[in-house]
Amino acid sequence: MSMIIFLVCLILAWQGFYYVGVDLLGLCKSYSVPSPMGVGERLIELCQDGSIFVAIGNSFLRGLIGFGIAVLIGIVVGLLINHFKFLNKNLKPIILGIQTLPSVCWVPFSILWFGLSTEAILFVVVMGAAFSISISVDNAINNIQPIYKKAALTMGATKKQMYLHIVFPAALPELIAGLKQGWSFAWRALMAGEVMTTSIGLGQTLIMGRDLGDIDQVMLVMIIIVLMGILIDKCVFSTIEKRILKKRGLA
């Protein structure tokens, strides 16, 4: 209830700022400042023709596929740099450096290699999230208590048993946190990819609003992007994280 009250107050404050700044004092132009009423009207219009639902569906599907590929690549690379000292010493610093690149830096490569296609968007998503996940996997394994591994080796555990029954279960809480961070990188990379291509999605809808000078549509898409990010985090990652912590008596 407190959250709802806070959001209502926030919307009222936003509408009040628009009224004072645009309608009353004329400090800002109406085409440069979005209003709650304008955003609501634009939402109704886009819902009536169904375009916003198509955009949300396409973006979510691309994000899911790209994130899935990034998880597979990130886990494999993370295990490799953790297991082999040569890769940990030489490849890990490079991955850390590449991770700092903004996702939009990969857009020119994706367009040159894949054209203005869905594959280009997926490439940007994977490159934006995979390196973050690999570093998270490496850190999660490094933070496991050494006594767990020593005890398993003493009892004659093989490498396969070590990873399946000791390493992954012990690193699971931190791995989930790393995947949550990877999803945020993937979601932002997805928007960067869609903004630069012509495929229908939230990013393309946002750019269309910019091209048409429709600031209300731009604001609407930004709000939807934020809400979808929060929804995925609360319904998926936070739920899994809480269950794991509760199962282990940590929550």
Confidence band (pLDDT; 50, 70, 90) for 26?
A: low
Q: How many CB atoms lie within 10 A of CB 119?
A: 13
- Residue 242 exposure: Cα atoms within 13 Å on the Cβ side: 7
The per-residue pLDDT for range 150-199, each reduced to its tens digit, is 777 777 777 777 777 777 877 787 888 888 888 888 888 888 888 777 67
Q: How many CB atoms lie within 10 A of CB 213?
A: 10
Predicted confidence (pLDDT) at residue 34 exceeds the cutoff of 90: no
The 3-state DSSP composition of the chain as helix, strand, coil percent (nearest 5) reads 85, 0, 15
The per-residue pLDDT for range 218-229, each reduced to its tens digit, is 888 888 988 888
Predicted confidence (pLDDT) at residue 250 exceeds the cutoff of 70: no
Token digits of residue 215: 């600031």
Predicted confidence (pLDDT) at residue 214 exceeds the cutoff of 70: yes
The per-residue pLDDT for range 52-75, each reduced to its tens digit, is 898 889 888 988 999 999 999 999
Mean of per-residue pLDDT scores for the chain: 82
Give residue 149's pLDDT: 72
Give residue 68's pLDDT: 92
Which pTM was predicted? Answer: 0.83
Q: What is the dihedral of CA 125, 131, 132, 133, to 10 degrees?
A: 90
